[in-house]
Structure formats: C-alpha cells, structure tokens
Chain A
Amino acid sequence: MKLNRRHFIATASAAALASPAIIGRALAADGIKFVSILDQSNGLDIYGKPMVDTTRMAVDEINAAGGLLGRPIDLKVYDPQSSIQLYTQFATQAAAGDRADVVHAGITSASREAIRPTFSRFQVLYFYNVLYEGGVCDINNFCTGSTPAQTVEKLVPYTMNKWGKKVYIIAADYNYGQITAQWVQKYVRDNGGDPVATEFFPLDVTNFGPTIKKIQQARPDMVMSALVGGAHVSFYRQYAAAGMNASIPIASTTFGVGNEHKLISAEEGNGMICAYSYFEEIDNAANKAFVKRFRDRLGADAPALNELAARAYEGAYIWAEAVKQAGTAERMAVIEALRSGVHYDGPSGRVQIEPRTNHANQNVYLAELKDQSFQILETYENQPPTDTLLVCDLVKDPSQSTFKFENGLKAAGIDI
C-alpha cells in the first residue's frame, strides 16, 4: 500500500517535470523558434512588460507579412519573475529544450551575465536589447542597446555646459550603476569638471532623505542619476518635495526607460535631461506609424514607449533581416549576415550591427522632460559603440566570449 503511494508520487512528479518539454515540442513543430525571456512580474516588470508587448508586436507583424523564408515565427515568452535562478532555468529550457533559433533575453546586466554562458555553450544565438554599461565581447551575443559612449558621453558635456561643473553622482548598486558611475566620472573629468561625490543605492531603497541632505551640504551644480527600478523612483519625488529640483537640476542615464516620467508628476520631473537612442516623441514618419500601431494594438492600456521597448522591437527586426539575408535561420549563417552590415530602419532611425563588437551603430537623442514628455534637443546620428570598441575586436579574434568590464573600467585599461 505504502509502496504504491510513494511510487505514484514519484511517477507523478516525473511526469509533471517532463510535461513542459512535451508541450514545448508540440508547439514548436515547424516554425522558426524565437524565445523571449523578460521579467513581467516582481520589481523589474516596469521594464519588461513594454518590451514583451513590442516583441509580440514585431513577431505578429512579421508573421502577418508571411513569416520568414516562408515559415512562421513561433514566439515563446518566459517570465523569469525577476529571479536570476529562473533566468538560468528558462535559458536552459530555451536552448536545450525548445532548441530555439534565437533568444532575446535579459534586462539587468546580472541576468545577462547569468544566461550568456548558457547560450554560448548550447550555441544558441542571443540578443540583448537593453541599454547597458558596455563591454560585452561575445561572438554569439548581439547587444543592440545603447552604451555610455553613445549616450552618456553626449549627456555629460551638454548638461555641464548648461548647469555647471560640479557633479554629484547617484547610481544603483550593481554592476550597471557601478560601471556607469565610472563612465560618468571619466566624462566629467574629460570635460574639466569635478565629480564631487558618488553614492550607490541598493535596488530596494525608498528613503533618500539622508542623501538629499548630503546633496544640499555638497552644493553641486547638478546631479547625475543612474538609479534603477520601481523603488528608486521615490528619489525623484523626495528630491522635488524637498524643493531641490528648483535649485539643483538632474540629468539621468536611466530615467524614462522604465517610463518613470509617467510615474511622477509634471512638476516633479520638469527640467530633467536624458540621452537615449529612442524617445516616443521622435518626430519622423516611421516612429509615428510605430507608435500608432502600438496604440491601436493595445488600446487604452498601452504603456509609454521608451528605448527598451523600441529596441526589443527593432532587435527582433534586425534578426529577421539577417535571417532573410542568410536565407536560413541557422545560427552561424545568421551571425555572418548580422556582422556583414545588416541594418534596420526602424522608429529610432537606422540601427546597424558593428562587426568588431556585435553592438549597434545607432542614432542618439538628447531630450529634456517637460510635462511628462521629452522634448528632443539634440540628435547625434549613427553613433558607434566606442567604449566597447576600446576593449573588443571580434573581427580580429572571433572566439571571444567575455564581459570586459566585469572588474571595472580600470581593470580593462581605461583611465577614469
């Protein structure tokens, strides 16, 4: 009796564990397999949800236009729930279980570094479509987001000219924030300024009172923020509540990519300056059509669009272009095609893969926040990822698969 029961449990659990594989295989019968792994719950969902929306839109559009090479794209979306452990699990599932042709995945650098080795090991093409600190040098990994040399390098001199040379840096306490803060320090010094202080905040900090007092004590000309996630939005509110936004202005390398400008009021946000490779407010026909399609698709619930959401869309299209050019979805052929100068003219303008880094040459826009929307002040066209170019040359040595900035910029030989 006992034996039977236990046996039943063991078989039941084995069967249960096996079933996602069965389902996975059934779904992915003959289409090209496209897997997306992006956080749609817990903390990082403010970034992930719009990205999933635009990814679905891109795939649906491609399928509606007849698919790729006459085959439909089978999209599978996993929600790793802001957990690194689930990221690695789904990455393995996508690579070994679903045998995906391409995976677009990861928001934080933490998640990217957790899953990147999995895709190299299983030889599955990997796209990372998020703005980040730069430095990934991996033949199998295409990083389409903007990097500090493309955005921060423009943002720092612009805002220093406008506001002054004393810069107070606040950043999220993980490697994006740490490395971005070093880039900011470098660019501030390069432009003859003084990074008076740098402070890091764990992602769950919500009380910024003591820091605001320290900023008042230090009296900088401007604050440069690389804060990340839902909890950090409270900095901007508390800063405004203390009347600080009237006296010391803020520039940011992250504000807006989680649609933060819609979370705080117009008065709290007015005057902030940011630089990204996409803003919803970009004034060109392609973007207007893109925004309209997105709104029509999602109706009243449509979130605002930002670089992450737009690049998730464009990332899917760049890959599709490469597949068309290669005439196959096979990994090496697609990598070849991507590195041969494939480009996509999307809502942000032209995005083209730069073969030495597998990053993207892209347009960068600098904008000021006014009444919850960004007014574009400057446009810098076709910017190369010069930061990653300093440390990475995949043309010379295509066998690389490393993150060059893991130990900081100094360790990578870059003077701060």
Chain B
Amino acid sequence: MDLVVSLALQILYGMANLALISLGLAIVFGMMRVINLAHGEFLMLGGYTVVVATNNGVNIWIAMLVLAPLVVGVIGVVVERLLIRWLYGRMIDTLLATWGLSLLCIGLVTSLFGASTATTISPPLGVITIGAYTSSGYEMFLIVVTALLLLAGYAALKLTPLGLVARGTMQNAEMSSALGVSTPRIYMITFGLGAAVTGLAGGLLAPITGVLPTIGAVYIAKAFITVISGGMAILTGTASASVLLGGVNGIVAFLTGPTIGEVALLVAAIVLLRLMPRGITGTFFRKGL
C-alpha cells in the first residue's frame, strides 16, 4: 500500500515534470505555429539564472519564482524582436534559426560559465515519508506548482483580453488577424510569455537535475513530442498528453527499466498520433483551451 501511494506520487511527478517542460513550447506552438528548437536552451538559461543568482546571495525562492521567468522572458522578447519576427509564416526557416539559436546559447553559456557549473543549490523542502517509503518534498511542490501554473493559464485565457485573442488564434489564426488584432504585438508578448514560463520551469528544475550548458538536449525531444501529441489546445493538450505519456513512462520504467520506459513513451506517442493525427485535442476536448 505504501508502495502504491508512493509510486503513484512518483508517477504524478513524472506527469507534472513533462507538463512543466512542455508548457512554454506549447504556448508558442499553439499560438504562433512556431517550433522553437531552442526551447531546451531556454530551460537551461532558466536554470543558470537560478544558479548565478543564488551564488550571488539571492534567496532561492526569489531566484526560481521571480528571476528565472523574468530573465528568460526578457531574452524571449529580445529573440522575438531580433530573429523570430522576420520569419513568421516560414515554419521551416524558424526551425533552422532556432536551431542556430540553440547552438549559440550552448556556446555562449559554455564560454561564460565553463562546461560544468558548480551548482551548490539543493532541492529545498526536505523529505515526505509514506510508511516505509520516502519521497522528495520538492517533487511534491513541483506537482503543486504545475497544477497552479495550468490553472493560472486557464484563468488567463478565460479572463484577460490577451486570453480572448489567444483563444481566437488557437481556433483560427487567419480569423483573428482578419479581425484586426495587432498580431505583431501579440506575437511578441506570446513569445515572451512562452519563454518566461520555460524559464520558470528551467529554474524550478535546476535544483533537482542540475544545470549544464548541454542539458537542453535532454528535454527538447520530450517536450516536442508532448506538445505535438497534445495538439493545438495549449492547456488541455499539454495536460492530457503529459498525463498519458508521463503515466506510460513512469509505470513502464518502474516495471522494467529506464530505457524501456523511454521507448514506451515514444511508442505511445506514435500510436497516439496514428490514431489522432491532430493530437489529443484535435480529437477530444476540441473546445478545450
């Protein structure tokens, strides 16, 4: 029984982890149809922000929850202004440019901080004991944060003017531009927002996975697959795909081993895309956000 509860929490964390690393990418993809190959590096930059800040005496919570999203969000806006905005409607060129950006980020961070960084931050919040099993309190915290982030996203989409535009764009990009919505500004805000959410995720994961200049490569493929499996709806898509893929991955990894767990995740994604070529939200939850 202890094992079941403890394992369930572990799998829930796996799902939250997927959602967390994918959400920023989903925002950018869902609203702008832009595939950001530098997404993994945005996560990495979030992590570095936290490391540099805490090493300079900033409180870890402020570093993770305020500085990481702020810094990466600003980087996102700058990148959008300097690079992405020249490439709207050229999805493949965006792919190439963001791949270049990803290499650039890795190179820059390596030049600045070296190949490996002394990260002395450890996950706060101690240990939760369930019978004979223990879990990381910080992992539980991440589950809660992910849930809150999704709720906040829901509220933002439902209640704010930007959310209204976003909903329109998700349903039909041409329509909203025909309605005279100033898309360039919206795009800039969206990209910045996506980057900020990604920065937050990177910051939050830094204590538990550590940061290296090349850590982005670990995340990018998974985030990609989650977003595409989820479909166009940002929140329901990310959430449903994370639950499904995270669940498959967690259970199989526990029963067999980590590699088969990874393979199971990928196979699940392929089967899913065969059955639902437009992703989960292309078939179910069509009215979802």
Measured between beta carbons, the chain A residues less than 8 angstroms from B133 are 213, 216-217
Stretch of A39-47, A151-159, A324-332, A396-404 at the chain-chain interface = A39-47
Residue of chain A at shortest CB distance from B116: A46
B218 touches A301 (CB 8 A): no
A211-B121 contact given A204-B217, A230-B214, A259-B116, CB 8 Å threshold = no
**Does A375 reach chain B (CB closer than 8 Å)?**
no
Minimum C-beta distance from A196 to chain B (A): 15
**Does B177 reach chain A (CB closer than 8 Å)?**
no
A234-B258 contact given A207-B14, A207-B17, A210-B250, CB 8 Å threshold = no
Other-chain residue from A208, A209, A241 in contact with B122 (beta carbon distance below 8 A): A241
A42 touches B209 (CB 8 A): no
A263-B117 contact given A200-B257, A211-B258, A230-B212, CB 8 Å threshold = yes
Minimum C-beta distance from B226 to chain A (A): 14
**A-B contact count, CB below 8 Å?**
137
Minimum C-beta distance from A352 to chain B (A): 32
**Does B10 reach chain A (CB closer than 8 Å)?**
yes
B259 touches A241 (CB 8 A): no
B257 touches A263 (CB 8 A): no
A265 touches B121 (CB 8 A): yes
A46 touches B115 (CB 8 A): yes
Other-chain residue from B118, B129, B262 in contact with A262 (beta carbon distance below 8 A): B118
**Does A370 reach chain B (CB closer than 8 Å)?**
no
Measured between beta carbons, the chain A residues less than 8 angstroms from B160 are none
Residue of chain A at shortest CB distance from B135: A242
B10 touches A237 (CB 8 A): no
Mark each residue of chain B from 233 to 269: 1 if its CB lies under 8 Å from any CB of chain A, else 0.
0000000000000000010011001110110000000
**Does A395 reach chain B (CB closer than 8 Å)?**
no
B261 touches A41 (CB 8 A): no
A243-B126 contact given A207-B17, A209-B13, CB 8 Å threshold = yes
Measured between beta carbons, the chain B residues less than 8 angstroms from A247 are 134
A274-315 residues at the B interface, CB under 8 angstroms: 301, 303
Measured between beta carbons, the chain A residues less than 8 angstroms from B120 are 265-266
Measured between beta carbons, the chain A residues less than 8 angstroms from B135 are 242
**Does B127 reach chain A (CB closer than 8 Å)?**
yes
**Does A173 reach chain B (CB closer than 8 Å)?**
yes
Residue of chain A at shortest CB distance from B10: A209
A237 touches B210 (CB 8 A): yes
A240-B122 contact given A206-B209, A207-B17, A259-B116, CB 8 Å threshold = yes
Complex CA distance for A204 and B132, rounded to whole angstroms: 30
Residue of chain A at shortest CB distance from B257: A199
**Does A175 reach chain B (CB closer than 8 Å)?**
no
B110 touches A210 (CB 8 A): no
**Does A369 reach chain B (CB closer than 8 Å)?**
no
Complex CA distance for A233 and B115, rounded to whole angstroms: 14
Complex CA distance for A247 and B127, rounded to whole angstroms: 12
Other-chain residue from A43, A200, A258, A264 in contact with B259 (beta carbon distance below 8 A): A200
B115 touches A244 (CB 8 A): no
Complex CA distance for A247 and B134, rounded to whole angstroms: 10
**Does B176 reach chain A (CB closer than 8 Å)?**
no
Known pairs A46-B116, A206-B209, A243-B134; list 9 more (Cβ under 8 Å): A41-B110, A202-B262, A209-B139, A209-B250, A231-B218, A238-B136, A241-B138, A243-B129, A268-B122
Across the A-B interface, give the 7 residue pairs with the lowest CB-CB distance, nearest first.
A243-B127, A241-B136, A45-B115, A210-B253, A234-B209, A230-B212, A241-B123
Chain B residues near A (Cβ < 8 Å): 3, 6-7, 10, 13-14, 17, 106-107, 110, 114-123, 126-127, 129, 132-139, 207-210, 212, 214-215, 217-218, 250, 253-254, 257-259, 261-262
Chain A residues near B (Cβ < 8 Å): 40-43, 45-46, 48-49, 173, 199-202, 204-214, 216-217, 230-231, 233-234, 237-238, 240-244, 247, 258-259, 262-268, 301, 303
Task: Return 30 A-B CB contacts under 8 Å, by A number.
Answer: A41-B115, A42-B106, A46-B116, A199-B258, A201-B259, A202-B258, A204-B218, A207-B17, A209-B10, A209-B13, A209-B14, A210-B7, A211-B258, A213-B10, A216-B134, A217-B3, A217-B133, A230-B212, A230-B215, A231-B212, A237-B123, A237-B207, A242-B136, A243-B134, A244-B134, A262-B116, A263-B210, A265-B120, A265-B121, A301-B114
